Amino acid sequence: MDDLIKTQRNPAHQMTERGRAIEEESFRVVDEEAGPHSFSELEWPIVRRMIHATADFEYKELTRFSPKAVEAGLKALMAGARILVDARMIACGLNPERLRLFGNEVVELLSHPEVVERAKATGGTRAEAAVRYAEERGLLEGAIVGVGNAPTFLLALVEAVRRGAQPALVLGMPVGFVNVLEAKRALMEAPVPWIVTEGRKGGSTLVVAALHALLRLAADGGVDTSKAYRGG
């Protein structure tokens, strides 16, 4: 029973010894090659996992955090907050064991029949309709929102925040060429905690990586136990 509890508390215990060694070596390489940085000891595990997931060290320069964003996200996750995402790929990429620890439900609405019908009726995008649907049903309140695909989703979310919606944390990481810069800029000016990848880069893989890092930190009680912190 103790072993079962340990596994539930830290999904890394599900990994084989060889798998764990590979992950630890990967993080060591990222720490070494990234060098000094200005991220806090709670922010760096998120950036590091994003680099680990993409092998792209540019995210060390592109990733931005609003003040206390990670703390807000951890508090919400440990309270069982839902995770609302803009792409099924994000939902599919999240580890079910990590989600079960605090009972975090993942919600993806773009394929919901009512959302599809609303988008057709209004001539807007499914992303915009999904945000409006979530807002009307209170699904944004206290939620972690992950946006890795649709900048129109992020723009609609910012408008919902301006109308009074209060997500706990928004991961604004859409990728692309149209409305991407505008959407990220709007989020960084909105009254809500956020983590953003500046510029055109982003994607569902990054949102999954950031969420896994947050879930790992939450499981460890908000302490980075994976490797050394090398702030500048």
- Which candidate in 13, 37, 52, 112 is catalytic? 52
The pLDDT value recorded for residue 8 is: 43
- Per DSSP, 200 falls in state S
- Tens of pLDDT, residue by residue over 133-174, are 999 999 999 999 999 999 999 999 999 999 999 999 999 999
For residue 52, indicate whether it is catalytic: yes
**In-domain check, residue 203:** yes
Residue 101: helix, strand or coil by DSSP? Answer: helix
Question: CB-based burial of residue 208 (10 Å sphere; 0-12 exposed, 13-18 middle, 19+ buried)?
Answer: buried
Contact of 224 with 45, CB cutoff 8 Å: yes
How far is Cα 135 from Cα 115, in angstroms, rounded to an integer?
12
Residue 214 is assigned to a structural domain of this protein: yes
Q: Is residue 162 part of a domain?
A: yes
36 lies in a domain?
Answer: no
Q: Taking Cα atoms as reference points, which of 148, 170, 8, 174 lies closest to residue 88?
A: 148
Residue 214 maps to which CATH number? 3.40.50.10230
- Structural domain span for residue 73: 61-219
* Overall number of domains in the chain: 1
Question: pLDDT, tens digit, for every residue of 179-209?
Answer: 999 999 999 999 999 999 999 999 999 999 9
pTM confidence score: 0.88
What is the tens place of the pLDDT at every residue in 50-108?
A: 999 999 999 999 999 999 999 999 999 999 999 999 999 999 999 999 999 999 999 99
Q: What distance in Å separates the CA atoms of residue 186 and residue 228, rounded to the nearest whole number? A: 34
Query: What number of residues does the chain have?
Result: 232
201 lies in some domain: yes
Query: Alpha-carbon distance 52 to 82, whole Å?
Result: 25
Q: Indicate if the alpha-carbon torsion angle 88, 90, 96, 100 is positive or negative.
A: negative
Q: Domain for residue 165, yes or no?
A: yes
